[in-house]
């Protein structure tokens, strides 16, 4: 029988609007992070329920490929952080049927998450794309969009989803303004990205060349895995200043949810769960 503290992590979430709010909870969250192995034992024994679809994932259908559970709990093609995004969408929109009525832009393709969205949502209302850096090979059958210079008309979408891409964007302030531009009034951004969750400032890894040349690395070059090529340059690991950047860009409010739920297969690494960014147009 799991202990009381593990049972409490069956489905917990809290929204934070500032680093100060989160900082007050951080020691407790890090302490709860020590319970992750016990949560994994529950997952191995019981499986979990996929958010939004309600599909039960039995233990034999789940792969656990490492101790960074944010990335390594795989079922139905989705990672823990993908299910954190679905959990947030369920909280915001309720059902898949409601999502089917929205025009959605998803800034990642191809991936297990892309396949999931294409399977469950209206194909004529879902646009998926991939960022391709200068010099990378290009798949002509895939839509390529630069978040800093989107080609869509104003007010094209009800929902923009960004999956692990903000760290790779050369100018986040410009990208956020572009997302605001293509969202309709009342539209929403929902996103995940690696975060320097213990600080307000972002960790700057590289600077873009204003003349379009190669980025200037401030330390050892870092690239994150990319299905299109060998990897994409990491410009920063965002800190909590991300919230202020979103508001300055034109969102009327922004917050970061921390979601931990072994019931839904949403577990983290140092933190017990996943951080999901939300912002409303």
- Angle between helix 172-182 and helix 241-249 axes, rounded to 10 deg: 50
pLDDT given for residue 77 in this prediction: 97
Are the C-beta atoms of 15 and 87 separated by less than 8 Å? no
Closest CA to 131 of 111, 115, 116: 111
pLDDT given for residue 225 in this prediction: 64
Half-sphere exposure of 45 (CA within 13 A, CB side): 9
- Angle between helix 80-93 and helix 112-120 axes, rounded to 10 deg: 30
SS3 assignment, position 159: strand
Residue with tokens 């990642």: 108
pLDDT given for residue 228 in this prediction: 47
Are the C-beta atoms of 198 and 26 separated by less than 8 Å? yes
Spatial separation of the C-alpha atoms in residues 168 and 197, rounded to whole Å:
17
| This prediction's pTM | 0.93
Tokens at residue 113, please? 């998450």
Tokens at residue 187, please? 């539209």
Closest CA to 205 of 72, 196, 259, 197: 196
Spatial separation of the C-alpha atoms in residues 176 and 242, rounded to whole Å:
10
Task: Catalogue all structural domains in the chain, each as residue range(s) with its CATH number.
Answer: 4-280 (3.40.50.150)
Report mean pLDDT in 10-residue bins for the chain, 281 residues.
Answer: 89 97 97 96 97 98 95 97 98 96 90 94 90 52 85 98 94 97 98 97 91 82 62 92 98 97 97 98 95
Spatial separation of the C-alpha atoms in residues 54 and 62, rounded to whole Å:
16
Angle among Cα 126, 162, 70 to the nearest 5 degrees reads 120
């Amino acid at each position: 029988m799991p202990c009381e503290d593990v049972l409490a992590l069956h489905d917990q979430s809290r929204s934070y609007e500032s680093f100060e709010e989160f900082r007050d909870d951080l020691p407790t969250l890090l302490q709860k992070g020590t319970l992750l192995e016990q949560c994994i034992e529950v997952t191995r024994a019981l499986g979990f329920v996929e958010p939004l679809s309600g599909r039960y994932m039995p233990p034999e259908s789940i792969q656990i490929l490492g101790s960074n559970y944010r990335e390594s709990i795989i079922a139905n093609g989705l990672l823990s952080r993908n299910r954190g995004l679905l959990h947030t969408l369920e909280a915001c929109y309720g059902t898949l049927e409601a999502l089917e009525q929205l025009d959605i832009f998803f800034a990642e393709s191809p991936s297990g998450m892309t396949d999931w969205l294409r399977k469950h949502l209206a194909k004529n209302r879902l646009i998926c794309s991939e960022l391709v850096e200068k010099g990378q090979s290009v798949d002509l059958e895939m839509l390529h969009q630069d978040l800093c210079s989107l080609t869509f008309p104003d007010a094209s979408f009800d929902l923009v989803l960004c999956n692990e891409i903000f760290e790779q964007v050369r100018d986040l302030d410009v990208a956020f303004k572009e997302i605001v531009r293509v969202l309709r009034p009342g539209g929403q951004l929902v996103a995940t990205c690696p975060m320097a969750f213990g600080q307000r400032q972002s960790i700057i890894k590289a600077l873009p060349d204003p003349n379009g040349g190669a980025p200037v690395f401030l330390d050892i070059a870092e690239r994150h895995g990319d299905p299109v090529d060998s990897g994409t340059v990491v410009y920063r690991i965002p800190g909590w200043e991300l919230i202020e950047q979103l508001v300055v860009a034109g969102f009327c409010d922004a917050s970061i949810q921390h979601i931990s739920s072994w019931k839904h297969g949403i577990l983290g690494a140092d933190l017990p769960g996943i951080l999901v960014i939300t912002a409303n147009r």
